[in-house]
Amino acid sequence: MPMKAVFLDKDDTLVDDNPCNVEPRCITLCSAAGPALRLLARLNYRLVVVGDQAAIAHGQVDEVAMASIADRLGDLMFRERVALDAFYYCPHHPKRSVTRYAFACGCRKPQPGLLLKAASEHQIDLRASWMVGARLHDVEAGNRAGCRTLLVDNGTETEWRLGPRRVPTRIAPDLYAAAMLIASEGDERR
């Protein structure tokens, strides 16, 4: 039976974005993320992190280290009494220094590849799911995948290039407000 999920961008949405986020011990949840995650879990949403990890293409971290980052996220969420159901990341960036990762791909947002892969591997109903992120690339990826979308407008979006696929279903100032909006929407589909 298909399940519903909330796809969460990692940096600036789920965790505080800081330069040392490639070091697992530096990773901390955003303010009020715990209550937000608990609310979403009570609503029977799977919690799936989907993030672009350009630090790999920059040569700042390798893919082996991503397992430690996923473990840290799982631990932080466990402390909040919720489960990290899956962690997906894109190591690619077309303009970076590590040649084997320096190309355009279908998994780097705004492309929907990470969401489509997660949906396939975990039997997720994309139309019953949400993509939550702090940038319009997150919104576009969610819209392309067929999810409802929520922009966490916390001041980190810098481009504001609008377009038909870059309009969110809802906008919230933080993850807790986003979870409240998702709760208010119920299981209604677009």
Q: Is 73 left (phi over 0), alpha (psi -120 to 50) or beta?
A: alpha
Residues 47/41, Cβ–Cβ less than 8 Å: yes
Query: Exposed, middle or buried by CB within 10 Å (0-12, 13-18, 19+), for 122?
Result: middle
Catalytic residue among 11, 52, 85, 174: 11
Contact 14, 48 (CB under 8 A): no
Which residue in this structure is represented by tokens 């969460």?
Answer: 8
Q: End-to-end CA distance of the chain, in Å?
A: 20
Reply yes or no on whether 62 is catalytic.
no
Maximum CA pair distance of the chain?
Answer: 45
Tokens standing for residue 119: 């949906």
User: Which residue's entry shows tokens 């407008």?
Assistant: 153
Identify whether 12 is a catalytic site residue: no
Alpha helices in the chain (DSSP H): 33-42, 54-58, 63-79, 113-122, 136-145, 175-185
Residues marked as catalytic? 9, 11
